[in-house]
Amino acid sequence: MSDATAPQAQTGGALLTVEKLERHFEGLKAVDGISFTVGPHEVVSIIGPNGSGKTTTLNLVTGTIPANGGTITLDGADIGHADTARIAEDGVARTFQNGRVFATLSVADNIEVGIHSTLRASRPFRRLSRMFLLRWIPLLAELYIAIIGTPASRRERREIDATISAEIERFEARLGPRRDDPAYSLSYANRRRTEIARALALKPKLLVLDEPTAGMNQSETAEVLRQLLELKAEGQAILLVEHKLDLVMSVSDRVIVMDGGRIIAQGRPEQVRRDPAVIEAYLGRRRGLGGEDLV
């Protein structure tokens, strides 16, 4: 049986360590002192009834909103107080529950936007942009490189093109023919694929996916599952929030179950599936998340 309070395996070597994380919205404790880890090549899923705090947890880990308490470390470095751009640079890339792409940009340009934060040769001195008095220096340098170019920036350009092509290739049949199409002309599923490709182009240490199959039909969901299994085989660490429990149970190394902002169970999929607290959360209160998949 899983134990929500037990320290997780391999905490010492964890990629992501979350401890006593808290976030409240006025009186509501959306995330109430949760602790968990994700290992360097682990796929960890967070499940739970609607409103249990899953997306808030992802928002905290990715710096989208600040925490009211607790710590978040990535590879041993504190990211709990960093902004989203810094966290992305440090190696956490995410997708959003409702799918966010730039509607008027092409598929290729949407993917490139993701890489922009990692550019070195084309964006020298970029850390100075955080300093109010000195931020004109990286701006001028970027402008010079954009107009004149340097051997390093041209090499980086070729690398960017190769990364974009590699990520489109991952979804070849779907995105290949649509590389230059604006995102607004894509199907919903292809917009979600573009968003995942954009996150992967960052070559993140941790890929954070918020309901990647939301709004997808059965065959599209099966395709996402195949792609997640491929990423897992490549050793990609993933933190996943997903309502489709068959997919969760097929892809996850560990499953965390939240209810009311707390972790009520965590463990291997087969342990969590049989946990009485989980069955109670899904079936006892009939919150309609396909709880029948758990028993």
Q: Which is nearer to ligand ATP, 30 or 119 (CB)?
A: 30
Count residues near ligand ATP (CB under 6 A). Answer: 11
Name the β-bridge partners of 263: 258
Between the alpha carbon of residue 238 and those of residues 86, 94, 142, 254, the distances in Å are: 19, 10, 33, 11
Least distance CB 192 / ligand ATP (angstroms): 16
Beta strands in 176-222 (DSSP E): 206-210
Q: Any residues with CB less than 8 A from the CB of 152 and at least 6 apart, and which?
A: 120, 121
The nearest distance, CB 53 to ligand ATP, in angstroms, is 5
Structure tokens at 104: 């008027």
**Nearer Cβ to ligand ATP (53/269):** 53
Nearer to ligand ATP, 159 or 280 (CB): 280
Between 274 and 287, whose beta carbon lies closer to ligand ATP? 287
Read off the tokens for 8: 């997780």
Q: Does the footprint of ligand ATP cover residue 194 (CB under 6 A)?
A: no
Taking CB under 6 A as the criterion, which residues in 37-96 touch ligand ATP? 48, 50-56
Strands 69-74 and 77-78: antiparallel
Applying CB under 6 A, among 25, 136, 144, 184 the residue interacting with ligand ATP is 25
CB of 21 to ligand ATP, least distance (A): 12
Q: Residue 254 in contact with residue 207, Cβ under 8 Å? A: no
Q: What does the chain come to in residues?
A: 295
Cβ(63)–Cβ(57) below 8 Å: no
Among 1, 28, 143, 152, binds ligand ATP (CB under 6 A): 28
- Residues in contact with ligand ATP by CB under 6 A are 25, 28, 30, 48, 50-56
